[in-house]
Amino acid sequence: MAKGQTNKGLTERLQAALKERGQRWTEQRQIIVDVLAASDGHATGAELVERVRQDDPSATPSTVYRTLDLLEELGLARHHHGPDGRETYHLEETTEHGHLHCRGCGAEQELDAAAAAPILKAITGATGFSADLDHLSLQGLCATCRADQKG
């Protein structure tokens, strides 16, 4: 889906979920979902507030945060914590994935389910834990930076 464009399927899911709970579809909620969709799933709460306000200057932090909470309740969004500890939101429809942050070059890399499978397996083997891929946020040195250090 191109950025800045309304995500039709998502809107429908949102409207259905709201209707079922006797809650209301509003333009603000649509904007927030759109912004979240356009952010490809990696934006802090504060960033989302700022972006929403670009689309709709009258929007307030309270509405954005309340909507993010609502979206999580509805199972349409999730959040995890980045290396700086701030909340980072993404839509649940985004494929579940982990994150890798390189402390050398600052690059952020996604870790899809297939790539993560052996890692999760190793975690279970070593600890008995079944780790949540969505909360897997690793820091370290990427292959390039490791090579640079050696050279």
Partner DNA sequence: TTTTGTGCAAAAGTTTTGCAGATAT
Partner DNA sequence: ATATCTGCAAAACTTTTGCACAAAA
Binding-site partner at residue 23 among a copy of itself, DNA, none, CB < 5 to 8 Å by type: DNA
* Binding status of residue 39 toward DNA by CB under 7 A: no
78-106 CB burial, b ≥16 within 10 A, e <16: bbbebeeeeebbbbbebeebbbbbbeeee
CB nearer to a copy of itself: pick between 3 and 103: 103
Minimum distance from CB of 95 to a copy of itself (Å)?
16
Residue 3 contacts which entry, DNA, a copy of itself, none (Cβ below 5-8 A, type-dependent): none
Find tokens 């429809």 and name the residue.
93
Ranges assigned E (strand) in 56-122: 77-81, 87-91, 98-102, 108-111
DSSP 95: P
Binding positions for DNA, rule: CB under 7 A: 18, 22-29, 44-46, 49, 56, 58-63, 65-67, 69, 86-87
